[in-house]
Amino acid sequence: MLIHEMTLEECRAALARADFGRLACARDDQPYVVPIHFAYDGDSVYGLTTDGQKIDWMRSNPRVCLEVDQRSSHDRWVSIVVLGRFEELAGTPDGERARTHALELLQRREGWWQPASVSRPGREQRAPIFYRIRVTQMTGLRAEPDGVV
């Protein structure tokens, strides 16, 4: 297997094709990682969630990390790591424009709304929260079978 560093353009293209990853946040020196559905517009990552631990932690510390991977075999995969800043898309005029943009992007993805909307036993239904992660840094690796360039 050969592992290659990806260019920024390769990372952006892979992130644009993806719709599922793992979001990491931290509070009081404790990391927390959760799976998320998302959409990427070339500058920012957009998502939908409800009030809970993830939102509480990102509100207190907006520095987050998103990891996205695609694997077709043990020696053919892509892994992207995105560093960025969480922003809640509130009801302000700028927030409303961003929410509309997020909704347009997310609606292109199958099942994008389900994690935030599906009820869970013992938990009341919560209002949806749109958010954005402004990308500050992105790196990636891709693996290929030995002998393939």
Q: Is the pLDDT of residue 104 over 70?
A: yes
So what's the pLDDT on residue 79? 97
Count the Cβ atoms, other than its own, within 10 Å of residue 132: 23
The model's pLDDT over 16-37, given as tens digits with 9 standing for 90+, comes to 999 999 999 999 999 999 999 9
Q: Are strands 39-40 and 63-73 parallel, antiparallel or unpaired?
A: unpaired
Q: How many residues are present in the chain?
A: 149
Residue 20's CB is within 10 A of a number of other CB atoms, namely 15
Report all structural domains of the chain as residue ranges with CATH numbers, in order of start: 2-144 (2.30.110.10)
Q: What pLDDT is stored for residue 122 in this prediction?
A: 60
Q: Which of 3-12, 48-57, 111-120, 122-131 has the lowest mean pLDDT?
A: 111-120
What pTM was estimated for this model as a whole?
Answer: 0.86
| Alpha-carbon span 39 to 14, nearest angstrom | 12
48 has pLDDT over 70? yes
Task: Tell whether the model's pLDDT for residue 126 goes beyond 60.
Answer: yes
Rounded to the nearest integer, the mean pLDDT of the chain is 89
User: What totals of helices (H) and strands (E) does the chain contain, helices first?
Assistant: 4, 8
Helix, strand or coil, per DSSP, at residue 116: helix
- In the predicted structure, residue 140 carries a pLDDT above the cut 80: yes
Q: Which residues contact 54 (CB under 8 A, 6 or more apart)?
A: 23, 25, 32, 34
35 or 123, which is more confident? 35
Distance CA 18, CA 70 (A): 8
Distance CA 148, CA 137 (A): 28
Looking at residue 128, its pLDDT comes to: 84
Q: What are 45's strand-pairing partners? A: 40, 133
pLDDT at 80: 98
- With a cut of 80, say whether residue 62 has pLDDT above it: yes
Confidence of residue 124 (pLDDT cuts 50, 70, 90): low
